[in-house]
A and B are shown apart, each in its own frame.
Chain A
Protein backbone atom coordinates (compact mmCIF):
# COMPACT_ATOMS: atom_id res chain seq x y z
CA UNK A 1 0.00 0.00 0.00
CA UNK A 2 1.14 3.48 -0.83
CA UNK A 3 0.65 6.32 1.58
CA UNK A 4 1.29 9.90 0.57
CA UNK A 5 0.42 13.20 2.24
CA UNK A 6 -2.28 15.48 0.84
CA UNK A 7 -3.01 16.97 -1.65
CA UNK A 8 -4.06 13.97 -3.69
CA UNK A 9 -3.69 14.95 -7.32
CA UNK A 10 -5.21 12.42 -9.65
CA UNK A 11 -3.25 13.51 -12.68
CA UNK A 12 0.13 14.90 -13.54
CA UNK A 13 -0.19 18.68 -13.81
CA UNK A 14 3.35 19.74 -14.63
CA UNK A 15 3.76 23.06 -16.44
CA UNK A 16 5.05 21.25 -19.52
CA UNK A 17 1.97 19.03 -19.79
CA UNK A 18 -0.41 21.97 -19.34
CA UNK A 19 1.41 24.07 -21.92
CA UNK A 20 1.46 21.19 -24.41
CA UNK A 21 -2.31 20.85 -24.07
CA UNK A 22 -2.78 24.60 -24.52
CA UNK A 23 -0.77 24.38 -27.75
CA UNK A 24 -2.86 21.40 -28.83
CA UNK A 25 -6.04 23.34 -28.10
CA UNK A 26 -4.86 26.17 -30.34
CA UNK A 27 -4.58 23.80 -33.32
CA UNK A 28 -8.25 23.96 -34.47
CA UNK A 29 -8.00 27.75 -34.54
CA UNK A 30 -4.70 27.60 -36.42
CA UNK A 31 -6.15 25.11 -38.90
CA UNK A 32 -9.08 27.44 -39.57
CA UNK A 33 -6.62 30.34 -39.88
CA UNK A 34 -4.59 28.47 -42.52
CA UNK A 35 -7.74 27.48 -44.38
CA UNK A 36 -9.42 30.88 -44.35
CA UNK A 37 -6.65 33.48 -44.17
CA UNK A 38 -3.51 31.84 -45.49
CA UNK A 39 -0.62 29.63 -44.53
CA UNK A 40 1.61 32.62 -43.71
CA UNK A 41 0.53 32.14 -40.10
CA UNK A 42 2.63 28.97 -39.94
CA UNK A 43 5.72 31.01 -40.84
CA UNK A 44 4.83 33.55 -38.16
CA UNK A 45 4.35 30.79 -35.58
CA UNK A 46 7.82 29.46 -36.41
CA UNK A 47 9.43 32.92 -36.29
CA UNK A 48 7.78 33.70 -32.95
CA UNK A 49 8.67 30.30 -31.44
CA UNK A 50 12.31 30.60 -32.50
CA UNK A 51 12.57 34.15 -31.14
CA UNK A 52 10.90 33.12 -27.88
CA UNK A 53 13.16 30.13 -27.32
CA UNK A 54 16.31 32.14 -28.09
CA UNK A 55 15.24 34.98 -25.79
CA UNK A 56 14.27 32.53 -23.06
CA UNK A 57 17.60 30.69 -23.36
CA UNK A 58 19.54 33.96 -23.20
CA UNK A 59 17.65 35.13 -20.11
CA UNK A 60 18.07 31.76 -18.37
CA UNK A 61 21.80 31.82 -19.09
CA UNK A 62 22.12 35.33 -17.64
CA UNK A 63 20.35 34.16 -14.48
CA UNK A 64 22.35 30.91 -14.40
CA UNK A 65 19.20 28.79 -14.34
CA UNK A 66 19.12 25.29 -15.89
CA UNK A 67 18.37 25.71 -19.58
CA UNK A 68 16.77 22.36 -20.36
CA UNK A 69 14.31 22.35 -17.48
CA UNK A 70 12.83 25.77 -18.23
CA UNK A 71 12.98 25.60 -22.02
CA UNK A 72 11.15 22.29 -22.02
CA UNK A 73 8.20 23.60 -20.00
CA UNK A 74 6.85 25.18 -23.19
CA UNK A 75 5.55 28.37 -21.60
CA UNK A 76 7.67 30.44 -23.99
CA UNK A 77 6.17 28.61 -26.96
CA UNK A 78 2.61 29.32 -25.78
CA UNK A 79 3.47 33.01 -25.43
CA UNK A 80 5.04 32.94 -28.91
CA UNK A 81 2.00 31.28 -30.48
CA UNK A 82 -0.41 33.76 -28.88
CA UNK A 83 1.74 36.61 -30.20
CA UNK A 84 1.82 35.16 -33.72
CA UNK A 85 -1.95 34.63 -33.66
CA UNK A 86 -2.74 38.17 -32.51
CA UNK A 87 -0.36 39.93 -34.92
CA UNK A 88 -1.38 40.57 -38.54
CA UNK A 89 -0.42 37.45 -40.56
CA UNK A 90 1.65 39.39 -43.08
CA UNK A 91 3.52 41.47 -40.49
CA UNK A 92 7.27 41.65 -41.19
CA UNK A 93 9.25 38.96 -39.38
CA UNK A 94 11.20 41.48 -37.30
CA UNK A 95 7.97 42.93 -35.91
CA UNK A 96 6.87 39.53 -34.61
CA UNK A 97 10.39 38.82 -33.34
CA UNK A 98 10.62 42.21 -31.58
CA UNK A 99 7.27 41.68 -29.91
CA UNK A 100 8.23 38.19 -28.78
CA UNK A 101 11.63 39.19 -27.42
CA UNK A 102 10.01 42.12 -25.58
CA UNK A 103 7.42 39.76 -24.10
CA UNK A 104 9.96 37.19 -22.92
CA UNK A 105 12.73 39.53 -21.75
CA UNK A 106 10.86 42.50 -20.30
CA UNK A 107 7.33 41.30 -19.55
CA UNK A 108 8.37 37.88 -18.23
CA UNK A 109 11.98 37.59 -17.07
CA UNK A 110 12.59 41.10 -15.73
CA UNK A 111 9.61 40.53 -13.43
CA UNK A 112 11.12 37.26 -12.19
CA UNK A 113 10.26 34.66 -14.82
CA UNK A 114 7.42 32.19 -15.14
CA UNK A 115 4.85 32.63 -12.41
CA UNK A 116 6.01 36.10 -11.37
CA UNK A 117 4.86 38.25 -14.29
CA UNK A 118 1.99 40.60 -13.38
CA UNK A 119 1.05 41.14 -17.05
CA UNK A 120 0.27 38.65 -19.75
CA UNK A 121 3.49 38.65 -21.85
CA UNK A 122 1.73 38.06 -25.18
CA UNK A 123 -0.61 40.99 -24.60
CA UNK A 124 2.31 43.21 -23.55
CA UNK A 125 3.93 42.37 -26.89
CA UNK A 126 0.74 43.30 -28.73
CA UNK A 127 0.33 46.57 -26.82
CA UNK A 128 3.99 47.53 -27.28
CA UNK A 129 3.94 46.85 -31.01
CA UNK A 130 0.63 48.58 -31.68
CA UNK A 131 1.89 51.65 -29.82
CA UNK A 132 5.33 51.59 -31.48
CA UNK A 133 4.34 50.48 -35.01
CA UNK A 134 0.66 51.43 -35.42
CA UNK A 135 0.71 51.31 -39.22
CA UNK A 136 2.25 47.84 -39.57
CA UNK A 137 0.05 46.44 -36.81
CA UNK A 138 -3.11 47.61 -38.57
CA UNK A 139 -2.35 46.00 -41.93
CA UNK A 140 -4.71 43.04 -42.00
CA UNK A 141 -4.82 41.08 -45.25
CA UNK A 142 -7.69 41.46 -47.63
CA UNK A 143 -9.42 38.10 -47.49
CA UNK A 144 -10.67 38.31 -51.05
CA UNK A 145 -7.07 38.18 -52.21
CA UNK A 146 -5.51 34.76 -51.66
CA UNK A 147 -1.78 34.94 -52.29
CA UNK A 148 0.43 31.94 -52.92
CA UNK A 149 2.54 30.94 -49.92
CA UNK A 150 5.76 31.89 -51.69
CA UNK A 151 4.58 35.51 -52.10
CA UNK A 152 3.38 35.67 -48.51
CA UNK A 153 6.81 34.55 -47.27
CA UNK A 154 8.48 37.14 -49.50
CA UNK A 155 6.34 39.86 -47.93
CA UNK A 156 7.05 38.69 -44.38
CA UNK A 157 10.80 38.65 -44.94
CA UNK A 158 10.85 41.96 -46.79
CA UNK A 159 11.81 40.46 -50.18
CA UNK A 160 8.69 41.84 -51.83
CA UNK A 161 7.27 45.34 -51.35
CA UNK A 162 4.26 45.78 -49.11
CA UNK A 163 1.39 46.87 -51.30
CA UNK A 164 -1.54 48.73 -49.86
CA UNK A 165 -3.95 46.74 -52.01
CA UNK A 166 -3.05 43.61 -50.03
CA UNK A 167 -4.62 44.95 -46.89
CA UNK A 168 -8.19 45.81 -46.20
CA UNK A 169 -10.41 46.93 -43.36
CA UNK A 170 -11.15 44.23 -40.80
CA UNK A 171 -14.80 43.67 -39.88
CA UNK A 172 -14.19 45.59 -36.65
CA UNK A 173 -12.67 48.52 -38.56
CA UNK A 174 -15.67 48.62 -40.88
CA UNK A 175 -18.01 48.61 -37.91
CA UNK A 176 -16.10 51.43 -36.23
CA UNK A 177 -16.15 53.50 -39.40
CA UNK A 178 -19.87 52.92 -39.66
CA UNK A 179 -20.35 54.00 -36.05
CA UNK A 180 -18.45 57.22 -36.69
CA UNK A 181 -20.43 57.86 -39.86
CA UNK A 182 -23.62 56.85 -38.08
CA UNK A 183 -24.60 60.44 -37.58
CA UNK A 184 -25.13 60.75 -41.32
CA UNK A 185 -27.71 58.01 -41.18
CA UNK A 186 -25.67 55.04 -42.38
CA UNK A 187 -26.63 51.64 -41.07
CA UNK A 188 -24.16 49.21 -39.48
CA UNK A 189 -26.15 46.10 -40.28
CA UNK A 190 -26.66 47.06 -43.91
CA UNK A 191 -23.03 48.18 -44.29
CA UNK A 192 -21.65 44.93 -42.94
CA UNK A 193 -24.11 42.80 -44.91
CA UNK A 194 -23.35 44.56 -48.15
CA UNK A 195 -19.63 44.30 -47.88
CA UNK A 196 -17.32 41.50 -48.80
CA UNK A 197 -16.36 41.52 -45.14
CA UNK A 198 -19.40 39.97 -43.60
CA UNK A 199 -19.75 36.19 -43.56
CA UNK A 200 -22.48 33.99 -42.10
CA UNK A 201 -22.58 35.42 -38.62
CA UNK A 202 -19.46 37.61 -38.21
CA UNK A 203 -16.44 38.75 -40.22
CA UNK A 204 -15.91 36.59 -43.26
CA UNK A 205 -13.22 33.98 -42.67
CA UNK A 206 -12.42 35.24 -39.18
CA UNK A 207 -15.66 33.73 -37.87
CA UNK A 208 -14.27 30.24 -38.53
CA UNK A 209 -10.96 31.09 -36.88
CA UNK A 210 -12.84 32.28 -33.80
CA UNK A 211 -14.94 29.11 -33.97
CA UNK A 212 -11.73 27.07 -33.93
CA UNK A 213 -10.58 28.87 -30.80
CA UNK A 214 -13.98 28.22 -29.21
CA UNK A 215 -13.63 24.52 -29.96
CA UNK A 216 -10.10 24.37 -28.53
CA UNK A 217 -11.16 26.38 -25.50
CA UNK A 218 -14.06 24.05 -24.75
CA UNK A 219 -11.65 21.11 -24.96
CA UNK A 220 -9.32 22.87 -22.48
CA UNK A 221 -12.30 23.30 -20.15
CA UNK A 222 -13.26 19.65 -20.58
CA UNK A 223 -9.65 18.67 -19.76
CA UNK A 224 -9.87 20.88 -16.61
CA UNK A 225 -6.89 22.98 -17.72
CA UNK A 226 -9.08 26.07 -17.37
CA UNK A 227 -12.23 26.56 -15.32
CA UNK A 228 -15.47 27.91 -16.76
CA UNK A 229 -15.42 31.14 -14.74
CA UNK A 230 -13.27 33.44 -16.87
CA UNK A 231 -14.54 32.46 -20.35
CA UNK A 232 -18.16 32.50 -19.27
CA UNK A 233 -17.85 35.86 -17.53
CA UNK A 234 -15.91 37.31 -20.47
CA UNK A 235 -18.45 36.11 -23.03
CA UNK A 236 -21.37 37.00 -20.76
CA UNK A 237 -20.18 40.57 -20.26
CA UNK A 238 -19.43 41.00 -23.96
CA UNK A 239 -22.86 39.65 -24.95
CA UNK A 240 -24.60 41.74 -22.29
CA UNK A 241 -23.13 45.10 -23.23
CA UNK A 242 -23.21 44.52 -26.98
CA UNK A 243 -26.76 43.16 -26.68
CA UNK A 244 -28.01 46.16 -24.74
CA UNK A 245 -26.50 48.63 -27.19
CA UNK A 246 -27.67 46.58 -30.17
CA UNK A 247 -31.25 46.48 -28.88
CA UNK A 248 -31.03 50.17 -28.11
CA UNK A 249 -29.92 51.10 -31.62
CA UNK A 250 -29.42 48.26 -34.14
CA UNK A 251 -28.54 50.76 -36.84
CA UNK A 252 -25.45 51.91 -34.99
CA UNK A 253 -24.21 48.88 -33.08
CA UNK A 254 -23.43 45.37 -34.32
CA UNK A 255 -25.10 42.36 -32.76
CA UNK A 256 -23.51 40.27 -29.96
CA UNK A 257 -22.76 37.33 -32.27
CA UNK A 258 -20.65 39.58 -34.47
CA UNK A 259 -18.67 40.79 -31.46
CA UNK A 260 -18.13 37.30 -30.11
CA UNK A 261 -16.69 36.00 -33.37
CA UNK A 262 -14.67 39.07 -34.38
CA UNK A 263 -11.15 40.11 -33.51
CA UNK A 264 -9.56 38.47 -30.51
CA UNK A 265 -12.69 37.89 -28.41
CA UNK A 266 -12.68 34.08 -28.47
CA UNK A 267 -8.90 33.81 -28.22
CA UNK A 268 -9.00 36.29 -25.35
CA UNK A 269 -11.84 34.59 -23.49
CA UNK A 270 -10.37 31.07 -23.55
CA UNK A 271 -6.60 31.45 -23.95
CA UNK A 272 -5.51 34.88 -22.74
CA UNK A 273 -7.78 35.98 -19.90
CA UNK A 274 -7.48 32.46 -18.43
CA UNK A 275 -3.72 32.84 -17.90
CA UNK A 276 -3.26 31.48 -14.36
CA UNK A 277 -0.24 33.70 -13.66
CA UNK A 278 -1.42 37.18 -14.55
CA UNK A 279 -5.14 36.64 -13.92
CA UNK A 280 -7.20 36.06 -10.79
CA UNK A 281 -7.06 32.73 -8.98
CA UNK A 282 -10.09 32.76 -6.68
CA UNK A 283 -13.41 31.62 -8.23
CA UNK A 284 -15.26 34.88 -7.56
CA UNK A 285 -12.18 36.83 -8.61
CA UNK A 286 -12.11 34.97 -11.92
CA UNK A 287 -15.72 35.96 -12.58
CA UNK A 288 -14.97 39.61 -11.92
CA UNK A 289 -11.76 39.42 -13.97
CA UNK A 290 -13.48 37.85 -16.97
CA UNK A 291 -16.46 40.20 -16.86
CA UNK A 292 -14.21 43.26 -16.54
CA UNK A 293 -12.07 42.13 -19.45
CA UNK A 294 -15.10 41.49 -21.66
CA UNK A 295 -16.65 44.83 -20.81
CA UNK A 296 -13.44 46.77 -21.40
CA UNK A 297 -12.72 44.89 -24.62
CA UNK A 298 -16.10 45.99 -25.99
CA UNK A 299 -15.69 49.59 -24.90
CA UNK A 300 -12.17 49.86 -26.34
CA UNK A 301 -12.94 48.13 -29.63
CA UNK A 302 -16.13 50.11 -30.28
CA UNK A 303 -15.37 53.55 -28.88
CA UNK A 304 -11.57 53.55 -28.77
CA UNK A 305 -9.00 54.26 -31.43
CA UNK A 306 -7.40 50.80 -31.69
CA UNK A 307 -8.53 48.00 -34.02
CA UNK A 308 -9.32 45.63 -31.16
CA UNK A 309 -9.63 46.02 -27.42
CA UNK A 310 -8.90 42.57 -26.02
CA UNK A 311 -5.18 43.18 -25.37
CA UNK A 312 -5.68 46.44 -23.51
CA UNK A 313 -8.68 45.06 -21.63
CA UNK A 314 -6.69 42.06 -20.40
CA UNK A 315 -3.72 44.24 -19.41
CA UNK A 316 -5.97 46.64 -17.48
CA UNK A 317 -7.60 43.74 -15.65
CA UNK A 318 -4.15 42.23 -14.94
CA UNK A 319 -3.43 45.45 -13.06
CA UNK A 320 -6.51 44.91 -10.91
CA UNK A 321 -6.05 41.15 -10.44
CA UNK A 322 -4.15 41.22 -7.10
CA UNK A 323 -6.72 43.59 -5.57
CA UNK A 324 -9.65 41.53 -6.86
CA UNK A 325 -8.11 38.36 -5.44
CA UNK A 326 -7.57 40.07 -2.11
CA UNK A 327 -11.24 41.08 -1.92
CA UNK A 328 -12.56 37.70 -3.07
CA UNK A 329 -10.73 35.32 -0.78
CA UNK A 330 -12.94 32.34 -0.07
CA UNK A 331 -13.69 31.72 3.62
CA UNK A 332 -11.39 29.32 5.43
CA UNK A 333 -13.02 25.90 5.86
CA UNK A 334 -14.96 25.83 9.11
CA UNK A 335 -15.26 29.60 9.33
CA UNK A 336 -18.62 31.19 8.64
CA UNK A 337 -17.36 34.33 7.00
CA UNK A 338 -14.04 35.21 5.44
CA UNK A 339 -14.10 38.66 7.04
CA UNK A 340 -14.71 37.35 10.53
CA UNK A 341 -12.10 34.68 10.11
CA UNK A 342 -9.56 37.30 9.15
CA UNK A 343 -9.86 39.31 12.34
CA UNK A 344 -6.88 37.77 14.10
Chain B
Protein backbone atom coordinates (compact mmCIF):
# COMPACT_ATOMS: atom_id res chain seq x y z
CA UNK B 1 0.00 0.00 0.00
CA UNK B 2 0.93 3.61 -0.18
CA UNK B 3 1.71 5.74 2.85
CA UNK B 4 0.57 9.31 3.28
CA UNK B 5 4.13 10.74 3.18
CA UNK B 6 4.90 8.77 0.06
CA UNK B 7 1.86 10.03 -1.78
CA UNK B 8 2.56 13.60 -0.66
CA UNK B 9 6.17 13.39 -1.88
CA UNK B 10 5.04 11.96 -5.23
CA UNK B 11 2.41 14.66 -5.67
CA UNK B 12 4.84 17.46 -4.71
CA UNK B 13 7.42 16.12 -7.15
CA UNK B 14 4.97 15.91 -10.01
CA UNK B 15 3.17 19.18 -9.53
CA UNK B 16 6.06 21.46 -8.59
CA UNK B 17 9.51 20.12 -7.72
CA UNK B 18 10.05 17.91 -10.78
CA UNK B 19 7.45 19.63 -12.99
CA UNK B 20 7.67 17.97 -16.39
CA UNK B 21 7.57 21.21 -18.39
CA UNK B 22 9.33 23.71 -16.12
CA UNK B 23 12.04 21.58 -14.50
CA UNK B 24 12.59 18.47 -16.60
CA UNK B 25 11.67 20.45 -19.76
CA UNK B 26 10.42 17.26 -21.39
CA UNK B 27 7.67 16.86 -23.97
CA UNK B 28 8.30 20.24 -25.58
CA UNK B 29 6.87 19.26 -28.96
CA UNK B 30 3.21 19.10 -27.88
CA UNK B 31 3.82 21.87 -25.37
CA UNK B 32 4.90 24.32 -28.04
CA UNK B 33 2.56 23.18 -30.77
CA UNK B 34 -0.72 22.70 -28.92
CA UNK B 35 -0.81 25.51 -26.36
CA UNK B 36 -2.24 28.15 -28.68
CA UNK B 37 -5.16 28.27 -26.22
CA UNK B 38 -5.89 27.02 -22.74
CA UNK B 39 -8.51 24.46 -23.80
CA UNK B 40 -6.15 22.66 -26.17
CA UNK B 41 -3.46 22.55 -23.50
CA UNK B 42 -5.84 21.21 -20.86
CA UNK B 43 -7.38 18.55 -23.09
CA UNK B 44 -4.04 17.28 -24.36
CA UNK B 45 -2.79 17.16 -20.77
CA UNK B 46 -5.86 15.18 -19.72
CA UNK B 47 -5.16 12.66 -22.47
CA UNK B 48 -1.54 12.49 -21.34
CA UNK B 49 -2.58 12.01 -17.69
CA UNK B 50 -4.77 9.08 -18.71
CA UNK B 51 -1.94 7.51 -20.71
CA UNK B 52 0.65 8.09 -17.99
CA UNK B 53 -1.51 6.70 -15.19
CA UNK B 54 -2.36 3.56 -17.17
CA UNK B 55 1.11 2.98 -18.60
CA UNK B 56 2.88 3.56 -15.28
CA UNK B 57 0.52 1.15 -13.53
CA UNK B 58 0.75 -1.48 -16.28
CA UNK B 59 4.52 -1.38 -16.45
CA UNK B 60 4.93 -1.38 -12.67
CA UNK B 61 2.87 -4.58 -12.58
CA UNK B 62 4.97 -6.18 -15.31
CA UNK B 63 8.31 -4.72 -14.17
CA UNK B 64 9.67 -8.02 -12.85
CA UNK B 65 8.70 -9.91 -16.00
CA UNK B 66 10.27 -7.55 -18.54
CA UNK B 67 13.88 -8.48 -19.46
CA UNK B 68 16.13 -5.53 -18.66
CA UNK B 69 17.92 -5.57 -22.03
CA UNK B 70 14.81 -5.06 -24.16
CA UNK B 71 12.78 -2.99 -21.71
CA UNK B 72 12.54 0.14 -23.91
CA UNK B 73 10.79 -1.57 -26.86
CA UNK B 74 8.46 -3.34 -24.44
CA UNK B 75 7.65 -0.07 -22.67
CA UNK B 76 6.95 1.64 -25.98
CA UNK B 77 4.68 -1.19 -27.11
CA UNK B 78 2.63 -0.97 -23.96
CA UNK B 79 2.46 2.85 -24.12
CA UNK B 80 1.52 2.70 -27.81
CA UNK B 81 -1.32 0.29 -27.11
CA UNK B 82 -2.67 2.59 -24.38
CA UNK B 83 -2.31 5.68 -26.56
CA UNK B 84 -4.29 3.97 -29.28
CA UNK B 85 -7.08 3.39 -26.77
CA UNK B 86 -7.05 7.06 -25.70
CA UNK B 87 -6.88 8.15 -29.33
CA UNK B 88 -9.98 6.15 -30.23
CA UNK B 89 -11.71 7.38 -27.07
CA UNK B 90 -11.11 11.02 -28.03
CA UNK B 91 -12.22 10.41 -31.59
CA UNK B 92 -15.45 8.86 -30.39
CA UNK B 93 -16.38 11.37 -27.68
CA UNK B 94 -14.81 14.73 -28.57
CA UNK B 95 -14.47 14.49 -32.31
CA UNK B 96 -14.18 18.24 -33.01
CA UNK B 97 -11.36 18.66 -30.51
CA UNK B 98 -9.78 15.47 -31.83
CA UNK B 99 -9.55 17.12 -35.25
CA UNK B 100 -7.96 20.24 -33.73
CA UNK B 101 -5.39 18.36 -31.67
CA UNK B 102 -4.76 16.11 -34.67
CA UNK B 103 -1.44 14.28 -34.73
CA UNK B 104 -0.53 15.31 -31.17
CA UNK B 105 -2.74 12.69 -29.54
CA UNK B 106 -1.07 9.74 -31.33
CA UNK B 107 2.25 11.48 -30.70
CA UNK B 108 1.80 11.08 -26.93
CA UNK B 109 3.60 7.76 -27.55
CA UNK B 110 6.78 9.64 -28.35
CA UNK B 111 6.36 12.22 -25.58
CA UNK B 112 9.57 11.95 -23.56
CA UNK B 113 7.82 12.53 -20.27
CA UNK B 114 5.80 9.30 -20.63
CA UNK B 115 8.85 7.16 -21.32
CA UNK B 116 10.90 9.08 -18.74
CA UNK B 117 8.45 8.30 -15.92
CA UNK B 118 8.08 4.69 -17.04
CA UNK B 119 11.84 4.22 -17.07
CA UNK B 120 12.69 6.31 -14.02
CA UNK B 121 9.78 5.44 -11.74
CA UNK B 122 7.44 2.68 -12.83
CA UNK B 123 10.24 0.22 -13.62
CA UNK B 124 11.41 0.41 -9.98
CA UNK B 125 8.28 0.98 -7.90
CA UNK B 126 5.03 -0.84 -7.07
CA UNK B 127 1.91 -0.25 -9.22
CA UNK B 128 -0.05 2.04 -6.89
CA UNK B 129 2.84 4.47 -6.37
CA UNK B 130 3.59 4.35 -10.10
CA UNK B 131 0.03 5.21 -11.02
CA UNK B 132 0.11 8.09 -8.54
CA UNK B 133 3.34 9.32 -10.07
CA UNK B 134 1.85 9.16 -13.56
CA UNK B 135 -1.21 11.13 -12.49
CA UNK B 136 0.68 13.85 -10.67
CA UNK B 137 3.36 14.24 -13.34
CA UNK B 138 0.42 14.75 -15.67
CA UNK B 139 -1.17 17.28 -13.31
CA UNK B 140 2.11 19.22 -13.30
CA UNK B 141 1.96 19.24 -17.09
CA UNK B 142 -1.73 20.18 -16.99
CA UNK B 143 -1.39 23.39 -15.02
CA UNK B 144 1.70 24.46 -16.93
CA UNK B 145 0.08 23.88 -20.31
CA UNK B 146 -3.14 25.55 -19.16
CA UNK B 147 -1.21 28.59 -17.92
CA UNK B 148 0.95 28.78 -21.03
CA UNK B 149 -2.04 28.31 -23.33
CA UNK B 150 -4.07 30.89 -21.43
CA UNK B 151 -1.25 33.45 -21.55
CA UNK B 152 -0.66 32.84 -25.23
CA UNK B 153 -4.26 33.29 -26.26
CA UNK B 154 -4.70 36.27 -23.95
CA UNK B 155 -1.68 38.07 -25.38
CA UNK B 156 -2.19 36.80 -28.90
CA UNK B 157 -5.90 37.39 -29.33
CA UNK B 158 -7.33 38.79 -26.09
CA UNK B 159 -9.56 35.79 -25.38
CA UNK B 160 -9.52 33.00 -22.82
CA UNK B 161 -10.79 29.44 -23.23
CA UNK B 162 -11.54 29.79 -26.92
CA UNK B 163 -12.78 26.48 -28.25
CA UNK B 164 -14.45 25.58 -24.95
CA UNK B 165 -17.66 24.89 -26.87
CA UNK B 166 -15.95 21.88 -28.43
CA UNK B 167 -15.65 20.28 -24.98
CA UNK B 168 -18.75 21.58 -23.20
CA UNK B 169 -21.38 22.65 -25.74
CA UNK B 170 -23.12 25.88 -24.85
CA UNK B 171 -20.19 27.59 -23.11
CA UNK B 172 -18.68 30.65 -24.76
CA UNK B 173 -15.02 31.74 -24.66
CA UNK B 174 -14.25 34.83 -22.57
CA UNK B 175 -13.29 38.02 -24.39
CA UNK B 176 -11.04 39.61 -21.78
CA UNK B 177 -9.49 42.41 -23.82
CA UNK B 178 -11.60 44.85 -25.87
CA UNK B 179 -12.63 43.85 -29.40
CA UNK B 180 -10.34 46.50 -30.85
CA UNK B 181 -7.24 44.75 -29.44
CA UNK B 182 -5.11 44.16 -32.54
CA UNK B 183 -3.71 40.85 -31.30
CA UNK B 184 -0.03 40.12 -30.82
CA UNK B 185 0.33 37.34 -33.36
CA UNK B 186 3.83 36.45 -32.19
CA UNK B 187 2.44 34.96 -28.96
CA UNK B 188 0.41 32.45 -30.99
CA UNK B 189 3.40 31.47 -33.14
CA UNK B 190 6.08 29.02 -31.94
CA UNK B 191 8.58 31.79 -30.93
CA UNK B 192 5.96 33.17 -28.55
CA UNK B 193 5.64 29.75 -26.92
CA UNK B 194 9.42 29.56 -26.45
CA UNK B 195 9.64 33.07 -24.98
CA UNK B 196 6.70 32.55 -22.61
CA UNK B 197 7.95 29.12 -21.52
CA UNK B 198 11.31 30.76 -20.75
CA UNK B 199 9.51 33.40 -18.69
CA UNK B 200 7.54 30.72 -16.80
CA UNK B 201 10.73 28.78 -16.01
CA UNK B 202 12.36 32.00 -14.80
CA UNK B 203 9.28 32.74 -12.67
CA UNK B 204 9.42 29.28 -11.05
CA UNK B 205 13.14 29.53 -10.40
CA UNK B 206 12.62 32.98 -8.88
CA UNK B 207 9.91 31.67 -6.54
CA UNK B 208 12.12 28.74 -5.53
CA UNK B 209 15.16 30.95 -5.00
CA UNK B 210 13.09 33.33 -2.85
CA UNK B 211 11.77 30.41 -0.79
CA UNK B 212 15.29 29.03 -0.28
CA UNK B 213 16.63 32.44 0.65
CA UNK B 214 13.87 32.87 3.25
CA UNK B 215 14.45 29.40 4.66
CA UNK B 216 18.19 30.04 4.84
CA UNK B 217 17.63 33.43 6.41
CA UNK B 218 15.65 31.78 9.21
CA UNK B 219 18.18 28.97 9.51
CA UNK B 220 21.11 31.40 9.66
CA UNK B 221 19.37 33.46 12.29
CA UNK B 222 19.01 30.41 14.47
CA UNK B 223 22.53 29.12 13.92
CA UNK B 224 24.03 32.55 14.62
CA UNK B 225 22.11 32.76 17.85
CA UNK B 226 23.06 29.21 18.74
CA UNK B 227 26.75 29.45 17.78
CA UNK B 228 28.06 31.52 20.71
CA UNK B 229 26.30 29.28 23.15
CA UNK B 230 27.83 26.21 21.54
CA UNK B 231 31.27 27.85 21.58
CA UNK B 232 31.05 28.43 25.27
Spell out A's residues near B (CB within 8 Å). 98, 106, 110, 128, 131-134, 136
Contacts and interface: CB of A to CB of B under 8 A. Distances in A.
A contact face: mostly helix, strand, loop, or mixed: helix
B186 A132 contact: yes
A113 to B, nearest CB: 15
B179 to A, nearest CB: 15
Interface of B: 182, 184-187, 189, 191, 195, 198
Give me the 4 closest cross-chain CB pairs, A-B, nearest first: A132-B186, A132-B185, A132-B184, A131-B186
Nearest to B185: A132
Nearest to A136: B182
B195 A133 contact: no
A106 B189 contact: no
Contact of A131 (B182, B189, B198): B189
A242 to B, nearest CB: 30
B195 A131 contact: no
Contacts of A110: 198
A110 B199 CA distance: 10
B197 to A, nearest CB: 13
A54 B185 CA distance: 24
A92 to B, nearest CB: 9
A132 B155 CA distance: 11
17 contacts: A98-B184, A106-B195, A110-B198, A128-B186, A131-B185, A131-B186, A131-B189, A131-B191, A132-B184, A132-B185, A132-B186, A132-B187, A132-B189, A133-B182, A133-B185, A134-B185, A136-B182
A131 B185 CA distance: 7
Contacts of B186: 128, 131-132
Contacts, number: 17
B185 to A, nearest CB: 4
A65 to B, nearest CB: 17
Nearest to A135: B182
Contacts of B189: 131-132
Contacts of A134: 185
Contacts of B184: 98, 132
A133 B185 CA distance: 7
Nearest to B187: A132
A128 B187 CA distance: 10
A61 to B, nearest CB: 16
B180 to A, nearest CB: 10
A133 B184 CA distance: 7
Given A110-B198, A131-B189, A133-B182, 14 more contacts: A98-B184, A106-B195, A128-B186, A131-B185, A131-B186, A131-B191, A132-B184, A132-B185, A132-B186, A132-B187, A132-B189, A133-B185, A134-B185, A136-B182
A110 to B, nearest CB: 8
Contacts of B185: 131-134
A131 B184 CA distance: 9
A131 B189 CA distance: 9
A131 B191 CA distance: 10
Nearest to A98: B184
A10 to B, nearest CB: 43
Nearest to B186: A132
Nearest to A134: B185
A136 B189 CA distance: 18
A244 to B, nearest CB: 34
A42 to B, nearest CB: 25
Contacts of A98: 184
Question: Which of A98, A106, A132: most chain B CB closer than 10 A?
Answer: A132
B192 to A, nearest CB: 9
Contacts of B195: 106
B28 to A, nearest CB: 19
Nearest to B180: A158
B205 to A, nearest CB: 13
A333 to B, nearest CB: 42
A126 to B, nearest CB: 12
A220 to B, nearest CB: 32
Task: Count chain A CB atoms within 10 A of each CB in B186, B189, B191, B195 and give the residue with the most.
Answer: B186
Contacts of A133: 182, 185
Nearest to B184: A132
A124 B208 CA distance: 31
Nearest to B191: A131
Nearest to B188: A132
Nearest to A131: B186
